[in-house]
Amino acid sequence: MRIPGVGAPSSYGWELISDKAVPKELEEGWKSEAIPEKQHAAFAPLLRQMRRGRVREDFAALAKAVEMTGLADPLTIEVGCGSGWNSEVLTYLLGRPIRYMGLDYSKAMVRLGKRCYPNLRFVVGDAARLPLRDAACDILISGTVLMHLLGYSQAIRESRRVARAWCILHTVPVVQKRPTTILRKFAYGSPVVEVVFNEPELLRLIADSGLVVRHTLESIPYALADVLGESASARTYLCEVV
C-alpha cells in the first residue's frame, strides 16, 4: 500500500501464513522502535493535504462515524492510536475540539504521541486487556488495529466493555468469500502480522460481543487481490452498545 504523497510504500511484501505459525516477534512487530517516527512522517503530508481540502477516505470515514453518533462532546478513547494523528483529523473535520485519549501497546508510539500532542493524554495498554474501567468513555475507536491482532475477538469484546455508548471499528480489511486470513507483511520496513477478515464472520463476532452495527462506511482502498485471490475492501463500522 502506497501512501499518497510519500515515496516509499508503507506496507509491502504480503505473504499468506497460518495463525499457528506466527512467531511472537511477528505478532508484536508494531512495538518496533523503528516504526513510530516513520509512520508519523508518512502521515504528515496527508494531514497537510487534509487542511488544503484533500481529505483521504479513512479520515473522512472516521469523522463521519463520530458525527453520526450524535454526541455533542463525547469522551473518545482511541485504541491503537499510534502517534495520535487522528486527534488532529477529528478536531479539523468536526470543526471543534474533542476530548481525546490515545492508547497503544507500543511504548515508543506513546512517547511520540506525548511529544507531538502534549496537551492530550496517552497511555500504554493492550487492546485485548484494556487497562480501563467498564464504560470508561462515550466512544471507543479501534483505530486501524484489529487488522494487526491475532486476539481480535477479545479486542472487540474489550472495546464493547470500555465503551459506554459507541464503538468505531476503523479501517478493517474484509473479504466476502475466503475465510479470515492471516498474512505476514512489512510495515515501514518492520515485519508484522496482518488479519483480513471474512466480513460475515466479523459481523457475527461484533454481534456476539453485544454491539449492533448501525452504519458501515467505506474507508481507504485496499488492493490485495493478487495475494488473496479476491478483491478486498477496508470498512469502518459504527457500532452501538446494547
190-241 pLDDT, tens digit per residue, is 999 999 999 999 999 999 999 999 999 999 888 899 999 999 999 999 999 9
Region 88-99: mean pLDDT is: 97
Size of the chain in residues: 242
Query: What is d(CA 84, CA 109) in angstroms, rounded to the nearest whole number?
Result: 9
Nine cell digits for residue 3 = 501512501
Full set of structural domains in the chain with CATH: 11-241 (3.40.50.150)
Q: What is the mean pLDDT of residues 153-157?
A: 98
Facing residues of 98 across strands?
A: none
pLDDT at residue 137 is higher than 80: yes
Grid coordinates 511504548 are at which residue? 107
Alpha-carbon span 205 to 158, nearest angstrom: 12
3: confidence class by pLDDT, cuts 50, 70, 90: very low
Classify residue 95 as left (phi > 0), alpha (psi -120 to 50) or beta.
left
**What is the structure's pLDDT at 175?**
97
Q: Which has the minimum average pLDDT: 24-28, 31-35, 114-118? A: 24-28
CA-to-CA separations, 197 to 122, 145, 167, 173, in angstroms, rounded:
28, 13, 18, 6
